[in-house]
Amino acid sequence: YVIQNVGNQRRGKELANNFQKAKEYYQRTKAPLITYTQSVSLKGQDLTKFEKIVNRRFKDTPLKQNQFDALVSYAYNNGDVFSSVRNQIYKDPNDKVAIKKAFLTQGITVNGGATHVRGLYTRRAKEARLFSDGEYRNLKARYTFKGQEYFGNRRV
């Protein structure tokens, strides 16, 4: 989150845009960059934005709580819910295999799609499992990434 309470707007912007300088500032001053209350408020504002996106995208689709939560997480991490996921859910919200495939083929790349990131793939697998199975606890998902089998973060 942006550092808001350093008493100097220019210094705050400088620290907000440079993690290393922000870390050094905190280590030197031990002053919280933002308060816990501010962080909770900002998180709430962020989540509200993505809850609205999901509500708008799926206004005519009945969703269970776990499905809604998975889609909010997905939107929060991607900025929206990609059309392949939306279309599959519109088509059949109970087709677990197709929905999992849709989750795992979107939002797992960086550099314009040139690089697949295993951490993003793991996150998509967890969101797919939450959507399909309602698993909130111990969200370890089994998946294949670049020909290797994983369970959670461990190769099996």
Q: What is the DSSP string of 21-83?
A: HHHHHHHHH---SS-HHHHHHHHHHHHHHHHHHHHHHTTTS---HHHHHHHHHHHHHHSS--H
8 A C-beta contact, residue 112 and residue 91 = no
Tell me the mean pLDDT in the region 45-67. 90
pLDDT value of residue 100 = 87
CB 53 within 8 A of CB 75: yes
User: Which among 51, 66, 81 is positioned nearest to 132, based on CA atoms?
Assistant: 66
Burial class from Cβ neighbours inside 10 Å (0-12, 13-18, 19+) for residue 109 reads middle
Position with higher pLDDT, 143 vs 130:
130
Mean pLDDT check: name the lowest of 41-55, 115-129, 131-145. Answer: 131-145
3-class SS at 109?
A: strand
User: Mean pLDDT over residues 118-139, rounded?
Assistant: 81
More confident residue, 46 or 19: 46
What's the pLDDT score for residue 2? 44
Cα 42 to Cα 36: distance, rounded to the nearest angstrom: 10
pLDDT, averaged across the chain: 77
> In this prediction, what percent of the chain has a pLDDT beyond 90?
13
Q: Residue 49 and residue 10: Cα distance in Å, rounded?
A: 27
Q: Which of 72, 78, 21 is nearest to 49 (CA)?
A: 72
Cβ(125)–Cβ(103) below 8 Å: yes
